[in-house]
Structure 1
Amino acid sequence: MNLPNKLTLSRIIMVPIFMLLIIPIPDWIFEVQMLKFAHPHLRVINEYIWEYGNYLAALLFLIASSTDGLDGYIARKRKQITRFGKFLDPIADKLLITAALVALVERNNVTSWAATVIIGREFIITGLRLVAASDGIVIAASKWGKVKTITQIVAILAALLKNYPISLWVDFPLDRYLMFIAVVITIYSAYDYIIKNANVIDFNK
C-alpha cells in the first residue's frame, strides 16, 4: 500500500477514535448490573468526555482533515493514483464529516436540520455521479465543492471547540453562524453540480 492510500486509510481509522472521544457512554450501560463494579469508573470517563471530549475530538478532527488533499497531492506528484485510492478517498471524506455531525447533534451542538442538509447533499451528488458513471461520464470536483468542504470543516471545528477562544472574551454563537454559512454553500454546491450536469439526468426515461 502506497503512502497516499495509507494517509486516506488513517483518516478512516481516526473516525471511531473521534467518536469515542466525543460520545459519552450511554445510560443503559449504567443499568447493567453485571457492570456495576465499573460504574464509578465509567462515570469518571463520562465526566471527562463531557468536559474535555470536544476539544480532544477537535484536535483529532483537525489532524484528520489536514490529510484530506494531502493524500491526493502526494498521489498526483508521485504518480501513485490507484483504483483503491479513488474508491477510498471520497468514503474517508464523507465518513469523517458525517461522524462529526452525528456526534455534534447527539451533544446538541449542531441542529439535526443542518446535519441532514449536509449529509443529504452527499447522497444526492453521489447518486448523480453513479448515474453519470454508468454512462461513462466522470463528474469532476468543482470549485464550489471544495469551498463547501472548507466551510464545513471550519464550522465543525468551531462547534467542537465551543467557539473557543472567542468565548473567552464575548458570548457570540460563532459556530451557529458558520454552520449556517456551511449549509447555504452546501445547498448551492449541490445546485451547481446538478445544473452543470443536468444532461446526465433524463427525466423522460
Structure 2
Amino acid sequence: MNFKWLPNALTIARCLFAGFVLVGFWQAMSLDLTLTGLSPEELSRRATLQQLWYQFAFFAFLAGALTDFLDGWLARRLDAHSRFGVWLDPIADKLLIAAALLGLALEFRTWLIYIPAAMIIARDVFMTWFRATPRGRSVVVPSSLAKWKTGFEMAAIIGLILPLAVLRMDAGEPLTDGSPVLAIVATVAVVGLLWVAAALSWLTAGQYMKAAGTESR
C-alpha cells in the first residue's frame, strides 16, 4: 500500500491545528469571569469551561508540533518528497507559531509579549515572501541558530500556555498554592526565552539574506 501521501496530510493537519489553537484561545477569552452579578455556581462553571478551552489550545499546539516532527520523519522513511510538501511545510510551521503567539498576546495584553510576538511573526511573513522570490528560492542556509530559535519558540509558547491549561481561574485569579516567588522567576524565564527567540529569528533572517546576496553575485 502506498503511504507517500501521509507527510503532506500531516502538514495540512498542522495548518488545521493552528486554527484550533486560535479557536481555543478565542473561546476561553470569551468566558469573562469578571462580570458582576455572577452566581458562585455560574462563576465556577465558566472557570471550568475556560480551563478546558485553554487545554484544547494547548493540546492543539502540541499536536501540531508533533506533526512537524512526524511529517519530516515519514518523508525520509517513505522517500516521499513533493513540491507541494516543500512549499507548504514551512508555511504550516509559521502558521502554528503565529496562531499561538497571537493567542498569547491577546490573553496577556502586555508589551512584553506584543513586541517579541510581532518580531517573530513579521520575520516569518517576510521570509515566506522572500523565499518565493527568484533570489531567495534557491538559497539553503543550514544553521544551528535556526534550530535554537525554533527550540526557544516552542519552549516559550509551551511555558506560557501550560499555566493557563493547568491552573483554574476564578475571577481572573489563578487558584494555586505555589510559591509566588517561584512563579515570578518562571514567568521571567519563559518571557526571556520568547525575547531570545525573537532576536534569533532576525539574526537567522540576516544570515539568509547575506547568503542570498552572495549567491546572486
- TM-score higher than 0.5: yes
CA contact (8 A) 2:123 2:205 kept: no
Q: Report how many aligned residue pairs link the two structures.
A: 185
Correspondent of 2:210 among 191, 198, 201? 198
Q: Which contiguous aligned blocks of 4+ residues in structure 1 show a shift greater than 6 angstroms?
A: 43-46
Shift of 1:127: 4.2
Distance 1:20 1:44, change over 3 A: farther
* Higher RCO (Cα < 8 Å, 6 or more apart): 2
Matched, 1:14 2:26: no
CA distance in 2: counterparts of 1:95 and 1:168, whole angstroms = 36
Aligned equivalents of 1:49, 1:87: Cα separation in 2: 38
Aligned-residue CA RMSD in angstroms?
Answer: 3.0
Equivalent position SS for 2:53: helix
* Structure 2 gap ranges (5+): 31-42, 168-175
Sequence identity, in percent? 26
Q: Give the TM-score, by structure 1 length.
A: 0.75
Is there any run of 5+ residues in structure 1 with no aligned partner, and where?
28-42
Q: 1:86 to 1:193 in 2, by over 3 A?
A: same
Q: 2:14·2:92 contact (CA, 8 Å) conserved in 1?
A: yes
Q: Which residue is 2:195 aligned to? A: 183
Pair 1:126–1:156, CA change in 2 (3 A): same
Aligned to 1:121: 123
- The TM-score, its normalising length taken from structure 2, stands at 0.71
- In structure 1, C-alpha distance between the alignment counterparts of 2:149 and 2:200, rounded to whole Å: 9
Asked if the contact 2:5–2:80 (Cα under 8 Å) also holds between the matched residues in 1, the reply is yes
Say if 1:25 and 1:74 are closer, same or farther in 2 by CA, change over 3 A: closer
| 1:141 CA displacement | 4.3
In 2, Cα distance between the equivalents of 1:113 and 1:24? Answer: 24
What amino acid sits opposite 2:131 in the alignment? R
What is the CA-CA distance between 1:151 and the residue it aligns to?
1.3
Larger deviation, residues 137-146 vs 73-82: 137-146
* Superposition pairs of residues 1-205 of structure 1, within 5 angstroms: 2-24=5-27, 47-108=47-108, 111-131=113-133, 133-134=134-135, 137-162=138-163, 169-171=178-180, 172-173=183-184, 174-195=186-207, 197-201=209-213
